[in-house]
Structure 1
């Protein structure tokens, strides 16, 4: 009985701490954002200044991402614009995937420091196996559709406003504006007597001359509502071809690792295999007109990520490295103040290029 009472007290204490933290985050969104930014900036300031500074920097950077992820969850839970989670299993898996993706570089660096190169590759392989298995489970068993990286994206908190007075103030301000008479937003042509909208009354980017309608939604609210609808868009039902395409995208990291183990780190075979799988996946996706906005954005990101092959060995070692360095040094020498950014970047570039999860991230 005493053990049950102690366990109940511990659970209650944890729940009270969670509730207090959530309340503090919701009531102080600006302060929360400043703290998140400060932690992220600290990660850049620490790098290279202490022994094991690179690992410490990556730990702080991972912590900043996890902090943003945690606070986003608080804001979404309190927001009336976010639908309730329908598939709890899918949501839990996405959370685990997000945590893995935010911490994988730190885990790789820590493993290399603790156990050497061999230990780092073991950790890399374990993480990739976990990510691949979880993503395939979401795709095949849960009809998860097209996945994103990270699995749960950071959100625009402007669309998650929870304070009722903020929302009411927006609505009241527009109701007051909409209550103005059309005559205050128009002028009458003397010859024809026709009413025409004034320039001041025209919406940005929409210079129409028609008479404004009362009760029309404000441009700001219109944009926010479109973004809020995107929050709750369900995953598109994928055709068999698109499932193969998504499967290729998910399997690419493991295929690349296996190919590197067989052919060696300096071989072109893993590079060409991974590139071929990425290009084939994008081709099989076909026309994206029927996909929702989030899925289109993810496929656009994947297209852009093809440029990463310029930074991936052995292509980087053979063709890109010296050209990039030469360009950056030229900019640092001749563009005022650019050296403050570019010189530290050049110093960190070898470390960045050696990290598997920096260069070969999904």
Structure 2
């Protein structure tokens, strides 16, 4: 296994090229969207699993850990979520083949429930950071201005951390809109300069050598749920609600389909409502951050990009029943008839629409989970 890991890390460009080619060819497998054909989906899942494992090997290449950085999680949550997503279509097809259209939803619900549990565990283990790409991408952004209460309180509560003028200067420089902060920063700078002028040279060398021999060992602690809610107020609570609703939304959708069927509008509206409410909470936090510089809760750039990605996923509601059967399918058929007489374009349009219609029959392709 170690030899394989070394080979993947040395030839990662070649591995990426082969994976892209293999995954692209799986869409051309015969009987890809057949009701009873399990083989093509098994091949697709196999290549997806191999790709996920290789990516995990590349991403976990040993590097020198920076002092003060939190220890990485032992359990590979992101890899686990990716493997579940690669297997869920195979689970759906197999359950449909052996148990029928109605009972397959029991297996799909079990798969979605497993993903919810893993994502909730990852959400908690990451210090309640937003899940990127559904948890498949690890959120490594350091948002100390969000959760690190020591920074907002000047590290006065932590013994063992220097509380001198330099520390206060850095604290107030981070809040330049605070008039008191600017005044104290200027006084601290003056006091520090005076101290450095009067300090003997030999003492400076001793302090520098001591600092080199004893590097800081402060570890960044993950915030608890109570810390987020108490220190970030309403924005922190809205963030938690929005993220939890994004995590459990697919399970709610499947449970309602299991009870009322995928031809009912009720599961469609329940899922859409959960998406709209959850994203409105997170969008409100992003708007609050843009309008108020002193906002207690901040979203990082990758998290703001994640919000845009989630909104793009709303387009999948056009491909979900009953909306697809009543509206989208008619539009696709009408477009195919218009383009059919056109050489080449008509052929590719027909194949594209055929793939879309075939993919729509699989819940896992249109679930957005």
Partners of 1:245 and 1:154 lie apart in 2 by 19
Superposed CA RMSD? 3.2
Residue from 143, 146, 149 that aligns with 2:133: 149
Asked if 1:88 corresponds to 2:73, the answer is yes
Residue 99 of structure 1: CA displacement? 0.9
Instruction: Give structure 2 stretches of 5+ with no counterpart.
Output: 140-221, 229-234, 290-297
**2:257 counterpart (260, 274, 287):** 260
Are residue 128 (structure 1) and residue 112 (structure 2) matched?
yes
Which string of whole-angstrom CA distances, capped at 9 and with x for unpartnered residues, describes residues 285-308 of structure 1? Answer: 124353223212221111001111
Shift of residue 125 of structure 1? 0.9
Give CA-to-partner distance per residue, 1:41-73, whole Å, 9 cap, x none. Answer: 331231328988953333233233322222222
The residue number in structure 1 matching 2:6 is: 23
Aligned to 1:159: none
Can you list the C-alpha shifts for 1:262-312, whole angstroms capped at 9, x where unaligned?
333322111111111101111111243532232122211110011111111
* Aligned counterpart for 2:314 among listed residues 292, 306, 309: 306
Q: Any gaps of 5 or more consecutive residues in structure 1?
A: 1-17, 156-233
- Residue in structure 2 matched with residue 226 of structure 1 by the alignment: none
Corresponding position of 2:29: 46
Matches of 1:66 and 1:347, distance apart in 2: 26
Distance 1:82 1:106 in 2: 39
Distance 1:146 1:154, change over 3 A: closer
Instruction: Decide which of 84, 100, 105 is 2:84's aligned counterpart.
Output: 100
- How do 1:1-362 residues align onto structure 2 when only pairs under 5 Å count? 18-48=1-31, 55-78=38-61, 80=63, 86-89=71-74, 91-140=75-124, 143-153=127-137, 239-285=236-282, 286-288=284-286, 290-334=298-342, 336-362=343-369
Once structures 1 and 2 are overlaid, which stretch shifts more, 262-271 or 105-114? Answer: 262-271
Q: Aligned in 2, Cα 1:130/1:291: closer, same or farther, shift over 3 Å? A: same
Contact 1:47 1:53 in 2 (8 A): no
Matched-pair contact (CA < 8 Å) for 2:246–2:275: yes
Tell me how far 1:132 sits from its aligned partner.
1.6
Q: Normalized against structure 1, the TM-score is what? A: 0.64
Question: CA 1:81 to 1:153, structure 2 compared with 1: closer, same or farther past 3 Å?
Answer: farther
Task: Report 1 or 2 for greater relative contact order, CA contacts < 8 Å, sequence distance ≥ 6.
Answer: 2
Kindly state the Cα deviation for residue 21 of structure 1 after the two structures are TM-superposed: 0.7
Query: CA distance change for structure 1 residues 345 and 85 in 2, over 3 Å: closer, same or farther?
Result: farther
Q: Using the TM superposition, give the Cα deviation of residue 108 of structure 1 relative to its aligned residue in structure 2, in angstroms.
A: 0.8
